[in-house]
């Protein structure tokens, strides 16, 4: 099955108002800027977004916040280098925030992909983040029960993909993307290069094509940090 998609509009049309969307990236590393900006162009509202951060500057996720697209964000670090968009929205009660410790965030996503509805972790016990969550003692230590995190759609960035959706990643840009691809009902990836099946060594495949519903080639993707240094604003 050829999973290539020729334009961004064909990707983002699958994201409708009220959906939960996972977006890959650790700051700008692995952030699918072109897919995010395509979603901004579509203007979808009322989204719940799951990401490690809440955006920087006025591009990417920060631009989504400024356009009033995100109703709730689930992340580890809402305030990064230049969190003006999130700060303004949060202080004016325009966005809901759920803070999740970074390791717990990764495991909640992984659990969804593995079909595990809940798990226990000592992280956050005795803090505000554990309020209202069930706890239990194991071997003399207290643990907090955390639920899986699922999504309707995942938008991720990869280095190379073949036409059936097998993906490789470049260094740290891998981050949350393989987990998100497994935890979402539909996954769409932007890749630097699309190749034929067999051109990627099977030992190098990180995300198997069974978890990818479509991919689009963006040979020269933007980098969030570069855009912010240039003072870019989107749209």
pLDDT of 81: 85
Region 45-56: mean pLDDT is: 97
Region 143-150: mean pLDDT is: 98
pLDDT of 37: 98
Would you say residue 106 has pLDDT above 90? Answer: yes
- Which residue carries 């009322």 as its tokens? 46
Percent of the chain with pLDDT over 70: 100
State the Cα–Cα distance between residues 177 and 78, nearest whole angstrom: 19
Contact 44, 17 (CB under 8 A): yes
Q: Which residues make beta-bridge pairs with 124? A: none
User: What are the pLDDT digits (tens) for 212-223?
Assistant: 999 999 999 999
Contact 53, 76 (CB under 8 A): yes
pTM of the model: 0.96
Name the nearest CA neighbour of 177 among 200, 192, 159.
159
Would you say residue 208 has pLDDT above 90? Answer: yes
* Chain-centre distance for alpha carbon 169: 15
Percent of the chain with pLDDT over 90: 98
pLDDT band at 80 (very low <50, low <70, confident <90, very high): confident
């Amino acid at each position: 099955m050829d999973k290539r998609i020729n334009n961004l509009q064909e990707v983002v049309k699958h994201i409708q108002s009220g959906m939960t969307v996972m977006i890959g990236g650790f700051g700008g590393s692995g952030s699918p800027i072109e897919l995010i900006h395509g979603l901004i162009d579509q203007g979808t509202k009322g989204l719940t977004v799951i990401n490690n951060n809440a955006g920087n500057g006025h591009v990417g996720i920060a631009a989504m916040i400024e356009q009033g697209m995100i109703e709730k964000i689930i992340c580890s670090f809402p305030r990064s280098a230049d969190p003006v968009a999130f700060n303004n929205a949060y202080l004016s009660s325009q966005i809901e925030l759920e803070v999740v410790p970074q390791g717990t965030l990764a495991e909640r996503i992984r659990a969804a992909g593995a079909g595990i509805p809940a798990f226990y972790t000592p992280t956050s016990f005795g803090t505000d983040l554990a309020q209202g969550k069930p706890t239990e003692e194991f071997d003399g230590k207290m643990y907090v029960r955390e639920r899986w995190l699922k999504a309707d759609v995942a938008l991720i960035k990869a280095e190379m993909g073949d036409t059936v959706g097998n993906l490789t990643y470049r260094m740290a840009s891998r981050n949350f993307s393989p987990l998100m691809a497994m935890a979402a009902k539909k996954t769409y990836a932007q890749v630097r290069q699309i190749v034929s099946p067999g051109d990627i060594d099977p030992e190098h495949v990180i995300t198997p094509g069974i978890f990818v519903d479509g991919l689009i080639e963006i040979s020269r993707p933007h980098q969030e940090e570069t855009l912010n240094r240039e003072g870019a604003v989107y749209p």
